Amino acid sequence: MNKTTYRDAGVDIDAGEELIRRIKPLVKKSFGPEVATDLGLFGGAFRLDTSGMKDPVLISSTDGVGTKTLAAIWANRHENIGRDLVNHCVNDIFTCGAKPLFFLDYYATGKLDVDIAEKVIGGLAAGCAEVKTALIGGETAEMPKVYHEGSYDLAGTIVGVVDASNLIDGSKIREGDLLVGLPSNGLHTNGFTLARKVLIEMAGLKPEQRLEGVEGTLGEALLKPHLCYQPTVSRWLDRQLEVHGMAHITGGGVEGNTKRIIPEGLKAVIEWDRWTPPAIFQHIQNLGQVPDEDMRRTFNLGIGWVMVVPAGKAKELILHGMQTGIEALRVGYVETA
Is 113 exposed, middle or buried, given 0-12, 13-18 or 19+ CB atoms closer than 10 A? middle
User: Which residues pair with residue 21 across a beta bridge?
Assistant: none
Do residues 236 and 325 both lie within one domain?
yes
Do residues 264 and 327 both lie within one domain?
yes
Provide Rg for the chain, Cα atoms: 21
Per-residue pLDDT tens over the stretch 205-223: 999 999 999 999 999 999 9
The whole-number pLDDT of residue 313 equals 82
Among the three residues 166, 195, 229, which one is the final residue of a domain in this structure?
166
Among the three residues 166, 199, 222, which one is the final residue of a domain in this structure?
166
Do residues 186 and 275 both lie within one domain?
yes
DSSP letter at 37 equals: S
Q: Whole-angstrom Cα distance, residue 274 to residue 27?
A: 42
Residue 173 placed within a domain: no
Residue 171 placed within a domain: no
| CA distances from residue 38 to 101, 122, 151, 295 in whole angstroms, order as listed | 16, 17, 30, 45
The whole-number pLDDT of residue 323 equals 67
Do residues 162 and 202 both lie within one domain?
no
Do residues 208 and 60 both lie within one domain?
no
Residue 1 has pLDDT above 70, yes or no: no
What percentage of residues in the chain have a pLDDT greater than 90?
75
Per-residue pLDDT tens over the stretch 14-50: 888 888 888 888 888 888 888 888 877 788 889 998 9
| CA distances from residue 231 to 109, 252, 335 in whole angstroms, order as listed | 33, 24, 30
Angle at 321 between CA 319 and CA 327, to 5 degrees: 110
Do residues 226 and 147 both lie within one domain?
no
Residue 172 placed within a domain: no
H or E segment and range at residue 323: helix 311-323
The whole-number pLDDT of residue 283 equals 98
Among the three residues 166, 199, 221, which one is the final residue of a domain in this structure?
166
The whole-number pLDDT of residue 210 equals 96
Do residues 100 and 241 both lie within one domain?
no
| CA distances from residue 243 to 113, 185, 246, 330 in whole angstroms, order as listed | 45, 23, 8, 14
Looking up residue 52, the CATH number of its domain turns out to be 3.30.1330.10
Residue 79 has pLDDT above 90, yes or no: yes
Per-residue pLDDT tens over the stretch 91-126: 999 999 999 999 999 999 999 999 999 999 999 999
Q: Whole-angstrom Cα distance, residue 324 to residue 320?
A: 6
pTM for the full predicted model: 0.93
Q: Which domain holds residue 24?
A: 6-166
Strands 134-142 and 99-109: parallel
Q: What is the mean pLDDT of the chain?
A: 92
Q: Whole-angstrom Cα distance, residue 246 to residue 232?
A: 13
Do residues 16 and 159 both lie within one domain?
yes
Report how many domains make up the chain.
Answer: 2
Residue 263: pLDDT band (50, 70, 90) is very high
The whole-number pLDDT of residue 310 equals 93
Sheet holding 134-142, edge to edge: 56-64, 152-163, 99-109, 134-142
